[in-house]
Each structure stands twice: as C-alpha cells, then as structure tokens.
Structure 1
C-alpha cells in the first residue's frame, strides 16, 4: 500500500529523457510540477519512488542506501528503453543519487537541487545516536501544509527512523569520496535560506566536481523545497529547462 503521491509517474515526450529523484522521506509528487514543466518543453520525464518511501516508516527503516541507489538504477534502465539521451535531476538526497548515477552510467547532464553535502547546523546532526543505538528508534517529523501544490506532496512521513538517517549520511560520505568522478555538465542550485542542507554544500560541489562545465545558481530568498516554493519554483524550473536544453541549442548553432 502506497501513500497518495507516492506513485512514480511517466510523462512521454521526446528522445531526451529526464529522470527525477525525490529526497529523503519524500515522494514523487514533490517533483510533479517540475516534471510537467519539463514535459511541456519536450522532454520525456520519469519520476521514481525510492525504496521504502511512500509506504511506512517501518519499511523505510529496513532499507539501506544501496536499496535507494538500486531504485535509481531501475529508473534509469526504464528510461533508457524509451529515450536516446538521459539527464538526471535530483532534489536533496535525490541530488546525491543523481550525481552518483552520472558517475556510473551514461548521462547527458545533471541538476542538483539543494544537495545536502553538509547538513545545516539547525538540524543538530551531531546529536544523532550511534548506529547501534538508532535501531528501532524514530523522531517526529512536522506535518507539511504547503498550498497550491499536488496534494500528495504533503503526505510525508510523520516520523523518521534514526537508522535511515545513518544511511543518508553514509551515501553523502560516498558522494564526497566519488565527487571527482562526476564529470558531466552540472547545474548546482541551492537556496540561501536552506535550513536543511547547508548552503555551503553548493560551494563544496562547485569546487570538487570533476565537471569542466558547471554552473552555480543561488536563490537568495529560497529555502530547501525548491521544487515546491511558490515564486521560487518557477525560477528553478526555467533555469533547469534552459540548462537541459543547452546542448540542443548548441547543436542547432553548429
């Protein structure tokens, strides 16, 4: 049984596919508006559901970060059967997986939205108990009440498994080790008022990726939910589409 908004979605379009990856405890519905915008620009869009998300917190607690990465690989395989060119867009932890995918599979471009290479101090990550002490322990999560978004985008878990936070931190550590293998063109977007993923994460990525073509896009009035914030998301969608379409524009000029 899945929560409303947890369903993956596919929007059939052109030969350039875009794989959308949601964040930790998130849902595909959070990326629905972005997917529709990109689809209107001619892309084929597939938004996946990471294993253990959109079901129960107990289900999430049983997943390792490799299970999440396998969900990403499965989505890439599906999109590869439809499209001749694939780019990847990830939000929050999904951006971490987007970059890791680009290091192991053929991708055209990557867009990172608020990747948490560093956790914001407000989150108190230093107080996370040890892995052994985190088993079968949960912390409350505030109810989300965003307006003018797909209803499913508000259906996030009300608790988070502490063991899953360890898995998230582990995959962030993997990205730090592998960041130099990210060599495709990359757009690094981040909100300057992000209190979940430290905005310094954008600087770290810009300085450490192996990509020669890289762009940093800082939104001074934005927080963490770039795909959902009214007045912000439209800017992010437009910048993302322009970045993903850049190769096609260059080809027309040749």
Structure 2
C-alpha cells in the first residue's frame, strides 16, 4: 500500500520537462508545491517515487542506491518520450541523484537543494553500526511537521533502516567522483540553518562540478526541507528563474 502523498505525480505542460526528485525516507509530495508552481508556469512536471519510499520502512531496507537511481532514470525516460528538453531538480538525497543523472545523461539544467556531502553532527553518524550489523535494525526518525502545508507533503517514514543509511553514504561517494562530469548549468540552494546537511556541502559541490554556468544561493531561515519550509516561495522563484534562463 502506498502512503498518502507517496504517489508519483505528473502534470502535462509544455515541451520543457522538469523531473522532481524527493529525499531519503520522504515521498513525492515533498516536491508537490514546487511542481504545481512550475506547472503553472507551463512546464511538464513529473515527481518520481524513489524505490522503497512511500510504502513501509521494510521496503526501503531491501533497496540500494542503484534502485533509487533506476527510479530517477525511469522518470527521465518517461519525460524524454514527451518533452524536447529535460531539467532535473532534487531535494536532499534527491539532489544527489539529480547530480548523478546530470553526470550521465543529457539534461538542460540541474538544481540541487540541500544536497548532502557532509552530514551534520546532530545526526550522530558515529553511532551507525557497521553494515553487516544493520540488517533488520531500524532507527526512529524525527522530522519537522510544517503546519502550513498540505498534510500529504509532511508524510515521511517514522523510522529508517540503518542499512539504507549506508547506501546513502555510498551514494555520496559515487556522486563526489562524478561531479566533474556534471556540465549542465547548475543551481545549488543551501540554508545556513540546516541541521541535517552541513552547509559546506554546497560549497564542495560548487567547486567540483564541471559546469561552466553555476550558481550557489544561500538561505538563512529555512531548515533542511527547502521545498516546504518558511522560505519556500523564495526557493520556488529561484528555481523557476534558473529554469527560464
């Protein structure tokens, strides 16, 4: 059974398609408000559901970073069948997957918001057991419930499989190696107030990405969930202005 908010969404618009990629343990509805904003501007929009997300944490435990990337590639193929050009926009782990896609297939533009390279010390990764000891182990996960967004946008797993955390860390290492192959115009958005991702992650990506045209924009009030937090309208405007260039 798919959670409310866990369904992928597709809005047909013009010839420029935008692939939206949500974050770890989250759902496509995390990107829904941004998707509606972009569709109102005339874009064709697809919000994908990453493998193992939007159902149960046990489903997520069975998935790997390659399964998540396959979900993004499937979304790209769907848009490629109906659009002349495709841009990709991702939040958190979705930002990593967007960068990986841009390193391997032609994209018009790529935007990554709060993409992790360095995890904030508040997450206490030093407590993460070795991978071989993580099977069947789940950690309670707290997430801010933002009161002024539709209920489905706040949907998220209340626990995370520890094995999947290792997959996220492996994905970070893959993306670090592939950043020089990202040549599409790049937008990075990061908040100084993010307590999931250390804000120097954005500077790292900016320095190592191969894009000639790249922007790094900072926020000072939002937390980690940039598509839902208090500065989301500013985020929407920055993303849409970038896509329209």
TM-score range, shorter chain: over 0.9
Quote the residue 2:17 is aligned against.
17
Quote the residue 1:187 is aligned against.
187
Q: Which 5+ residue runs of structure 2 have no aligned equivalent? A: none
CA shift digits 1:157-177 (9 cap, x unpaired): 111000000001100110011
How many Å separate the matches in 1 of 2:114 and 2:238? 14
- CA deviation after TM superposition for structure 1 residue 127, in Å: 1.8
How many Å separate the matches in 1 of 2:136 and 2:244? 45
CA shift digits 1:59-99 (9 cap, x unpaired): 00000110000000000000101100000000000000000
Quote the residue 2:236 is aligned against.
237
Q: Does the CA contact (< 8 Å) of 1:29 and 1:150 recur in 2? A: no
How many Å separate the matches in 2 of 1:183 and 1:125? 32
How many Å separate the matches in 1 of 2:13 and 2:126? 45
Q: Which 5+ residue runs of structure 1 have no aligned equivalent? A: 247-254
How many Å separate the matches in 2 of 1:188 and 1:29? 21
Which is further off, 135-144 or 77-86?
135-144
How do residues 208-227 of structure 1 correspond to structure 2 at under 5 angstroms? 208-227=208-227
Quote the residue 1:251 is aligned against.
none
Quote the residue 1:29 is aligned against.
29
SS in 2 for 1:95: helix
Matched, 1:177 2:177: yes
Q: Size of the alignment, in residue pairs? A: 245
- CA deviation after TM superposition for structure 1 residue 125, in Å: 1.1
Quote the residue 1:56 is aligned against.
56
How many Å separate the matches in 1 of 2:12 and 2:150? 20
SS in 2 for 1:77: helix
SS in 2 for 1:210: coil
Matched, 1:70 2:70: yes
Q: Does the CA contact (< 8 Å) of 1:30 and 1:150 recur in 2? A: no
Q: Does the CA contact (< 8 Å) of 1:34 and 1:237 recur in 2? A: yes
How many Å separate the matches in 2 of 1:126 and 1:215? 32
Quote the residue 1:249 is aligned against.
none
Matched, 1:46 2:46: yes
- CA deviation after TM superposition for structure 1 residue 148, in Å: 2.0
How many Å separate the matches in 1 of 2:45 and 2:106? 17
Quote the residue 1:196 is aligned against.
196
How do residues 74-223 of structure 1 correspond to structure 2 at under 5 angstroms? 74-142=74-142, 144-223=144-223
How many Å separate the matches in 2 of 1:26 and 1:182? 25
Quote the residue 2:3 is aligned against.
3
Structure 1 segments of 4+ aligned residues over 3 angstroms from their partners:
none
TM-score for the superposition, normalised by structure 2 = 0.98
- CA deviation after TM superposition for structure 1 residue 144, in Å: 4.3
TM-score for the superposition, normalised by structure 1 = 0.95
Q: Does the CA contact (< 8 Å) of 1:3 and 1:54 recur in 2? A: yes
- CA deviation after TM superposition for structure 1 residue 101, in Å: 0.3
